């Protein structure tokens, strides 16, 4: 847990994709959908994982795996719901873990050696005790932005 | 913009709408104090609030209007066409300023025109005030100068500029010209009856209410009664949309609960209760989105008045069924198409008074606007008794514009010819409009109406007039659709573009789909229909060539093609959900939806599929599957033995190909088990008995609806779907029953009520088709 003397802390929702642990500031997460039914969209941009149903709306959900060029998931995935100026969208992740408190002091920017695409997607990382927690910012995952930043 | 201002704008707009309605009514009832009071209230409210909010321009304008209206209300002045025109001009300017406040937050600058208008209003009030209070006998003398600009008015510019923002007033004579006179009644009622008029009124419009038929109907029952304000409240449409979504969510949750609790009796009871409440809730929310069409219609008297004035025509507008309700978003969506249609009716339909009189018609043309419910649709009709369209001229023009080949044009019947006016190419040239009477942007009207799942029909008789019928679904959010499967995924096809379904069982596919190089074709009643494979179009894993499939025959904006899918599910009323922009860009999807079972489906956009698959515009399309038109009916033409017979298409539920072994007997009568029901079969010629030795043989059965029951009829072959003409019995002038003219041949219509006595014979047919006439299922 954060100690009082350290720099400001923040709550992040940890999610697992492949072997990497990612963290999304909890304030940005509208809701977590546990293994929802999804509907693939033929001809959609490669990073779109499919549609999910959320409170009467049909959301477009981005697949982090596809975005990172990974193999499709073997098991049903969880979805984080984010809000952007145009509306809501989802993010497919392998699984959602616990909420972690991370300190700003532990945060470091992306290393220069990181692959360019990941440079653009990741917002640095937090140094946890035993591993790294890669920071994700929802605004970088907005489908509209992805469509212009990473055309197929 | 702060809430107060927003509220003010909304309120003022409503007030101005009311004012508009009342003003046009005032033309025919100039002395109606209630109308005057209503108009006064609208302007007074605006003035009161603007002062408080600090909109000085609005305040000055409404103040001038209020003064004039005050005199009118108190009976010190009588309304006349000049005054009404002045007030209408004021209303337009007020609207413009409100618009400017809404978009820019400021009133905008236009002081010159403002002061001219204010001067004009003061003029009206002064001139006639003196006249009305003074002896009416002198009015004639005094009135004329009073209409001219008075130089001693400090703010007057000397010339009155009728500054109206809309373009359709250009033909209006200057406002200080009494020749502009509105309806004759208004003039007569005014005290300056004897006033010498420089020239006779060129056009007179009694926009509404001259005839008792329309008058009986108050224009906006809710809005017009002040008391209604206490029991209603204004709700943001966004909020309603959100409620609609949540109700949708609730419906799905309910479905899941019902499934999960079906075993427990207690829960089942609770589940049923939940079911009922949910259904009620859904209905209420949908109802909350409904508005009477009077909201839309109320603007038309003004439009008609101005157009008629500008065109020197006399037009009477009748409106019916104003209480008919329609989803708010749909009302918005048909605003333009309807305005366009009315413009057309007056511009091209209604003739000039002298022409009309020469033809033995009343000098005053009639435009009738009618709204009514018909099933799950609302019909809005624009009917004029004008010149109508000449079939021959349309035919000529269509050939000239190369929209159809001359040969084809010769073969087309009247109804098919009329459909040509909706082709895009038909509308572009101005020359066409004065020929056909219609045509300016009719394709736009059709496109706009089809966009919301509606349809446009036209019926016209040269010399008698034209009826344009818009068929609008009740709500935009919910459309009927057929759910189809392709490679394990659901897709929704809007019923509006679906005309027919053809099923192919395993093995048949290879034979019955023909190939011309890479183009797949299907022979539909002798005509080649291009096919689009949904799995290939969407780059899904391809299916086996011989797998069974269904062909959904679609008509998208005149493009006809067959969409090949793996299978069909039930038709469903679906709630359309918008897609994210990145998915909209794909083009093939019009949205997404959540089905009753909780699964999602993408809604296909037949228009863009046709376009992308290069299906050409079949300008010569046999639109034979469109709805009935007056005096016409569509029939399913079948062959029974060696006779031809016609079945009214709206009674046809399905056409099934059935193994004879499934036909059983109840007593001496053949019956068929069909979707869990017993269907009496017609088999008068007893051929079923002879052929029943071979249980493998198949029979085509047309399943029809006859009142509440369904009946089956065996046929040898389905020939066509075609429109039939009514035949008159020679000498009687009555319509001959039981027969119709199909393909220029007299054909008997099957009387379904007498099914057991029908003379129809069954043979093994060559073609099993599955047309489900839209909406019959």
Token pair, residue B9, equals: 């704008």
Kindly report the nearest CA distance between residue A146 and chain B, in angstroms: 9
Tell me whether B311 touches chain A (CB under 8 Å). no
Token pair, residue A77, equals: 């995935």
What confidence score (pLDDT) does residue B550 get?
A: 92
Nearest CA in chain B to A84: B580
Q: What is the DSSP letter of B135?
A: -
CA distance B574 to B482: 9
- Give B-chain residues touching A89 at CB under 8 angstroms: 580
The band of B437, judged by pLDDT with boundaries at 50, 70 and 90, is very low
CA distance B12 to B297: 19
Matching residue, tokens 């606007």: B369
Nearest CA in chain B to A54: B249
| Residues whose CB falls within 8 Å of the CB of residue B340, separated by 6 or more in sequence, listed in order | B440, B441, B444, B445
Interface probe with B: pick from A35, A42, A67, A143, most Cβ of B within 10 Å: A42
- Give B-chain residues touching A49 at CB under 8 angstroms: none
Token pair, residue A61, equals: 């959900």
In chain B, what percentage of residues exceed pLDDT 90? 6
CA distance B517 to B136: 88
Between CA B142 and CA B145, with CA B144 as vertex, the angle to 5 degrees is: 75
Domain B294-473, CATH 3.40.190.10 — does that match? no
- Give A-chain residues touching B534 at CB under 8 angstroms: none
What confidence score (pLDDT) does residue B169 get?
A: 41
| Residues whose CB falls within 8 Å of the CB of residue B216, separated by 6 or more in sequence, listed in order | none
End-to-end CA distance of chain B: 51
CB B552 within 8 A of CB B496: no
Domain B478-612, CATH 1.10.20.10 — does that match? no
- Give B-chain residues touching A56 at CB under 8 angstroms: 244-249, 577, 594
Q: When comparing pLDDT for B476 and B176, which is higher?
A: B476
**Domains of chain A by range and CATH?**
9-145 (2.40.50.180)
Partnered with residue B484 across adjacent β-strands are B491, B568
Partnered with residue B710 across adjacent β-strands are B705
Q: Cα-atom radius of gyration of chain A, to the nearest Å?
A: 15
- With 90 as the cut, is the pLDDT of residue A12 above it? yes
- Give B-chain residues touching A38 at CB under 8 angstroms: 600
- With 80 as the cut, is the pLDDT of residue A105 above it? yes
Inter-chain residue contact A55 with B245, CB threshold 8 Å: yes
Strands B709-715 and B677-682: parallel
CA distance B146 to B177: 11
- Of B362, B390, B290, the C-alpha closest to B332 is B290
Kindly report the nearest CA distance between residue A1 and chain B, in angstroms: 39
Core vs surface per residue A23-56: b (16+ CB within 10 A) or e: bbbeebbbeebeebebbebbebbebbbbbbbbeb
Core vs surface per residue B301-313: b (16+ CB within 10 A) or e: bbbbbbbbbbbeb
What confidence score (pLDDT) does residue B398 get?
A: 81
What confidence score (pLDDT) does residue B137 get?
A: 35
What confidence score (pLDDT) does residue B190 get?
A: 38
Q: When comparing pLDDT for B27 and B730, which is higher?
A: B27
Coil vs helix vs strand at B303: helix
Q: What's the full length of chain B, in residues?
A: 777
- With 90 as the cut, is the pLDDT of residue A135 above it? yes
In chain A, how many H helices and how many E strands?
3, 12
- With 90 as the cut, is the pLDDT of residue B682 above it? no
In chain B, what percentage of residues exceed pLDDT 70? 71
What confidence score (pLDDT) does residue B185 get?
A: 37
What confidence score (pLDDT) does residue B534 get?
A: 93
Partnered with residue B601 across adjacent β-strands are B593
- Give A-chain residues touching B583 at CB under 8 angstroms: 41, 44, 48, 60
Token pair, residue A130, equals: 């035993």
Burial grade of B265 (CB within 10 A; 0-12, 13-18, 19 or more): exposed
Share the mean pLDDT of chain B.
Answer: 72
Kindly report the nearest CA distance between residue B268 and chain A, in angstroms: 25
Domain B3-162+184-192, CATH 3.40.630.30 — does that match? no
| Residues whose CB falls within 8 Å of the CB of residue B196, separated by 6 or more in sequence, listed in order | B140, B144
CB B480 within 8 A of CB B493: no
Coil vs helix vs strand at B449: helix
**Where do the structural domains in chain B lie, given as residue ranges?**
3-162+184-192, 238-288, 294-473, 478-612, 632-757
* Interface contacts (A, B; CB < 8 Å): 75
In chain B, how many H helices and how many E strands?
27, 29
User: Residue A48 is nearest to which of B244, B245, B582, comparing CB atoms?
Assistant: B582
Q: When comparing pLDDT for B568 and B75, which is higher?
A: B568
What confidence score (pLDDT) does residue B601 get?
A: 93
User: Residue B599 is nearest to which of A37, A44, A86, comparing CB atoms?
Assistant: A37
Nearest CA in chain B to A44: B583
Taking only the tens place, the pLDDT of each residue in B635-660 is 888 877 777 788 887 788 777 777 77
Core vs surface per residue B423-442: b (16+ CB within 10 A) or e: bbbbbeeeebbebbbbbbbb
Return the CATH superfamily for domain B632-757.
Answer: CheA-289, Domain 4 (2.40.50.180)
Q: How many CB atoms lie within 10 A of CB A68?
A: 16
Question: Mean per-residue pLDDT for A132-137?
Answer: 93
When mean pLDDT is compared across A77-86, B404-413, B508-517, B624-633, the lowest value belongs to: B624-633
- Give B-chain residues touching A82 at CB under 8 angstroms: none
User: Residue A58 is nearest to which of B247, B588, B600, comparing CB atoms?
Assistant: B600
Tell me whether B602 touches chain A (CB under 8 Å). yes
Kindly report the nearest CA distance between residue B538 and chain A, in angstroms: 6
- Give A-chain residues touching B580 at CB under 8 angstroms: 59-60, 86-87, 89, 143-144
Interface probe with B: pick from A31, A38, A58, most Cβ of B within 10 Å: A58
User: Residue A144 is nearest to which of B579, B582, B600, comparing CB atoms?
Assistant: B582
- Is there a shared CATH topology between the B3-162+184-192 domain and the B294-473 domain? no
Nearest CA in chain B to A43: B538
Inter-chain residue contact A58 with B245, CB threshold 8 Å: no
Tell me whether B613 touches chain A (CB under 8 Å). no
The band of B760, judged by pLDDT with boundaries at 50, 70 and 90, is very low
Inter-chain residue contact A51 with B592, CB threshold 8 Å: yes
Highest mean pLDDT among B302-306, B373-377, B740-744 belongs to B302-306
Kindly report the nearest CA distance between residue B232 and chain A, in angstroms: 27
When mean pLDDT is compared across B138-152, B282-296, B473-487, B651-665, the lowest value belongs to: B138-152
| Residues whose CB falls within 8 Å of the CB of residue B616, separated by 6 or more in sequence, listed in order | B559
- Of A39, A69, A33, the C-alpha closest to B589 is A39
Strand-by-strand arrangement of the B527-533 sheet: B498-504, B549-556, B559-565, B527-533, B519-524, B513-516
CA distance B55 to A18: 62
CA distance B691 to B266: 54
The band of B189, judged by pLDDT with boundaries at 50, 70 and 90, is very low
Inter-chain residue contact B598 with A37, CB threshold 8 Å: yes
Q: Which helix (H) or strand (E) holds B354?
A: helix B353-358
Inter-chain residue contact A144 with B540, CB threshold 8 Å: no
């Amino acid at each position: 847990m954060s100690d009082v003397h350290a720099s400001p802390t923040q709550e992040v929702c940890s999610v697992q994709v492949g072997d990497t642990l990612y963290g999304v500031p909890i304030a940005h997460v509208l809701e977590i959908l546990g293994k929802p039914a999804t509907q693939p969209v033929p001809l959609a941009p490669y990073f779109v994982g499919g549609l999910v149903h959320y409170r009467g709306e049909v959301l477009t959900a981005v697949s982090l795996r596809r975005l990172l060029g990974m193999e499709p998931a073997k098991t049903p995935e969880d979805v984080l719901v984010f809000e952007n100026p145009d509306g809501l969208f989802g993010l497919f992740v392998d699984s959602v873990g616990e909420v972690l408190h991370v300190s700003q002091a532990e945060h470091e920017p992306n290393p220069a050696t990181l692959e360019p695409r990941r440079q653009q997607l990741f917002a640095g990382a937090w140094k946890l005790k035993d591993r790294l927690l890669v920071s994700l910012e929802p605004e970088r995952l907005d489908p509209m932005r992805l469509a212009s930043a990473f055309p197929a | 913009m702060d809430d107060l201002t927003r509220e003010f704008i909304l309120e003022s707009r409503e007030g101005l709408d009311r004012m508009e309605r009342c003003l046009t009514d005032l033309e025919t009832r100039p002395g109606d104090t209630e109308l005057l009071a209503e108009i006064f209230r609208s302007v007074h409210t605006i003035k009161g609030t603007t002062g408080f909010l600090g909109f000085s321009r609005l305040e000055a304008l409404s103040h001038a209007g209020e003064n004039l209206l005050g005199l009118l209300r108190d009976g010190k002045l009588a309304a006349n066409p000049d005054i009404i025109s002045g007030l209408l001009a004021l209303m337009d300017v007020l609207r413009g300023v409100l618009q400017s406040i809404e978009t820019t937050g400021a009133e905008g600058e236009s002081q010159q025109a403002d002061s001219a208008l204010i001067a004009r209003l003061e003029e009206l009030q002064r001139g006639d005030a003196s006249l009305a209070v003074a002896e009416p006998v002198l009015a004639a003398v005094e009135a004329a100068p009073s209409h001219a600009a008075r130089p001693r008015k400090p703010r007057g510019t000397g010339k009155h500029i009728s500054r109206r923002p809309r373009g359709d007033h250009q033909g209006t004579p200057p406002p200080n010209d009494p020749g502009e006179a509105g309806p004759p009644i208004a003039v007569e009622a005014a005290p300056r009856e004897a006033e010498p008029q420089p020239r006779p009124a060129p056009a007179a419009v009694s926009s509404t209410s001259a005839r008792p038929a329309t008058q009986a109907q108050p224009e906006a029952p809710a809005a017009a009664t002040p008391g209604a304000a206490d029991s209603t409240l204004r709700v943001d449409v966004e909020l309603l949309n959100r409620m609609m979504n949540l109700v949708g969510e609730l419906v799905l949750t309910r479905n899941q609960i019902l499934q999960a609790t079906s075993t427990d009796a207690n829960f089942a009871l609770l589940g049923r209760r939940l079911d009922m409440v949910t259904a009620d809730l859904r209905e209420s929310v949908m109802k909350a989105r409904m508005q009477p069409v009077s909201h839309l219609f109320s603007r038309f008297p003004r439009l008609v008045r101005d157009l008629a004035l500008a065109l020197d025509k006399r037009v009477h507008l009748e409106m019916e069924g104003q209480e008919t309700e329609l989803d708010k978003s749909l009302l918005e969506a048909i605003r333009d198409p309807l305005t366009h249609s009315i413009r057309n009716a007056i511009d091209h339909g209604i003739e000039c008074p002298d022409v009309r009189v020469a033809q033995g018609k009343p000098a005053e043309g009639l435009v009738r606007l009618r709204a009514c419910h018909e099933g799950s649709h609302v019909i809005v009709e624009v009917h004029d008794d004008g010149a109508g369209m000449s079939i021959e001229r349309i035919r000529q023009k269509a050939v000239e514009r190369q929209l159809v080949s001359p040969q084809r044009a010769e073969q087309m019947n009247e109804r098919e010819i009329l459909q040509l006016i909706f082709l895009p190419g038909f509308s572009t040239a101005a020359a066409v409009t004065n020929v056909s009477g219609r045509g300016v942007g009719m394709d736009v009207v059709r496109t706009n109406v089809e966009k919301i799942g509606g349809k446009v029909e036209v019926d016209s008789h040269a010399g008698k007039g034209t009826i344009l019928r818009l068929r609008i679904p009740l709500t935009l959010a919910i459309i009927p659709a057929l759910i189809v499967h392709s490679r394990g995924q659901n897709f929704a096809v809007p019923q509006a573009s679906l005309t027919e379904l053809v099923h192919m069982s395993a093995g048949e596919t290879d034979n019955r789909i023909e190939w011309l190089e890479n183009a797949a074709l299907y022979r539909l009643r002798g005509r080649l229909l291009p096919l689009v494979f949904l799995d290939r179009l969407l780059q899904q894993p391809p299916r086996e060539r011989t797998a069974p499939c269904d062909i959904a025959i679609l008509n998208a904006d005149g493009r006809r093609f067959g969409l090949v899918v793996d299978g069909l599910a039930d038709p469903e009323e679906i709630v359309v959900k918008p897609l994210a922009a990145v998915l909209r860009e794909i083009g093939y999807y019009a949205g997404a939806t959540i089905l009753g079972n909780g699964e999602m489906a993408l809604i296909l956009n037949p228009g863009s599929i046709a376009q992308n698959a290069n299906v050409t515009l079949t300008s010569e399309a046999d639109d034979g599957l469109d709805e009935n038109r007056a005096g016409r009916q569509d029939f399913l033409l079948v062959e029974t033995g060696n006779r031809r017979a016609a079945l009214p298409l709206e009674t046809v539920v399905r056409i099934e190909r059935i193994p004879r072994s499934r036909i059983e007997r109840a007593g001496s009568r053949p019956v068929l088990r069909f979707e869990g029901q017993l269907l009496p079969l017609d088999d008068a010629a007893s051929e079923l008995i002879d052929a029943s030795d071979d249980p493998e043989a198949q029979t085509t059965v047309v399943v029809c609806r006859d009142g509440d029951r369904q009946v089956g009829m065996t046929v040898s072959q389905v020939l066509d779907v075609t429109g039939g003409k009514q035949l008159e019995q020679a000498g009687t002038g009555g319509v001959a029953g039981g027969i119709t003219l199909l393909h220029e041949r007299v054909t008997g219509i099957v009387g379904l009520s007498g099914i057991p006595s029908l003379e129809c014979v069954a043979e093994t047919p060559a073609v099993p088709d599955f047309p489900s006439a839209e909406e019959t299922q």
